[in-house]
Amino acid sequence: MIIAQRALERLDGVEKAQVSLREAKAEVAFDPARVGAAQMIAALRSVGFRAGVLSSDPGGAAEKPAGE
């Protein structure tokens, strides 16, 4: 969890990330003008997690699977 959370929070534009490996998802608060889903997915994959977009919220929050 910590590795995935840190990978997301290191991205410019990510304000907060909460990762649940048990639920295989992450909730991310981010500025869509500074970071996008592709960058977040790449960050998670770079530390060994599968990732994709589950749903998004126009307020700047999105959920991404964080399970291996």
Torsion of CA 6, 10, 14, 19, to 10 degrees: -10
Domain 2-64 grouped into CATH 3.40.50.620? no
Higher pLDDT residue, 40 or 65?
Answer: 40
Does residue 43 carry a pLDDT above 90?
Answer: yes
Question: How large is the average pLDDT for residues 45-51?
Answer: 93
Q: What confidence score (pLDDT) does residue 4 get?
A: 94
Q: Give every CB contact of residue 29 below 8 A, 6+ residues apart in sequence.
A: 14, 15, 16, 17, 60, 61
What are the residue boundaries of the structural domains of the chain, listed by start? 2-64
Q: What confidence score (pLDDT) does residue 21 get?
A: 87
